[in-house]
Structure 1
Amino acid sequence: MKLLLTTLTIATLAVTPFAYTADPAGNISQAIKVGSDYGITHFTSIEFEGSGRMEIEGWIDQDWHVELETGAGSPDLVHEEREKRLNGTWGMTADDLLLYTKAAAEAGIVDIEEVKINRRDRIEVEGDDARGRDLEVYFQRGNQEPVKVSRDD
């Protein structure tokens, strides 16, 4: 029985080498570094996709919103797009991202798939809980207590 459980555990780990488990803040930190190195000061969305790809959106100044995409398992950019917008900078700072992803982990998220903020300062952290079920945790900027937690049971 132990051999079977050990084999299943190893097989599961081998199939998901790019899963964002155990250290969600580490992956967020990598996304923040990529975005910050590019010049993003206010992040609007970070999404982790299959095979280690990331999509990062945010503002590099008052007028330019950018979308960045990294390659599989690499921090190197494979796509970048800039759009001039006249509605001004909004989003989360790097410190905000770390704060709310930590609060989401405390609410039960172990695999982060996406972090985003809307113009009304509502923050959504999507991912999976320890049992692999979808979990969404919502915050209002300025409060690390979730305003809503939604689980797929």
Structure 2
Amino acid sequence: MKQHPFNLTKWQHWLALGFGSGLAPKAPGTFGTLAAIPLLYLVWPFGIWWAAAFVVLGTLLGVYLCDVVSRDIGTADHGSIVWDEVIGFAITMFAVPLSLTNLLVAFLLFRLLDIAKPWPIRWFDRNVHGGFGVMLDDIVAGILACALLHSVWLPLQI
């Protein structure tokens, strides 16, 4: 069994790995996205301002985490670093009512955009580096997924 390069006794590594979800042997980004769901259930009931604070502070924290952990392990954007997926999914769900159906549609949409990386996501992924670069493609994927949810999916629910 191959040993991972992370030091789980460092809080930065533990958070960057999405509480360990990024160590899944297959599809770590998918497991990182799933790790966001309990956080949404903790924060979203407090209202949109708490959700906004979570997204902003989580993004700032993520830039730091992704930069520090990438430097620690000597790899620019290791697949097990999934805090970017956590925040990307929180952005996707911004101002979206928490329901099983909404979570499922949002999850599929975010993962599709994050994996396929259509323009402009691919451009950011290839051209912006460091901790900010690791976060930015998932932020853009989250914004696009959120826009699609609000403009196409949620109107169908009324």
Same fold judged by TM-score > 0.5?
no
Higher-helix-fraction structure: 2
Higher RCO (CA 8 Å, separation ≥ 6 residues): 2
- When Rg is computed on C-alpha atoms for both structures, the one with the higher figure is 1
TM-score (norm 2): 0.33
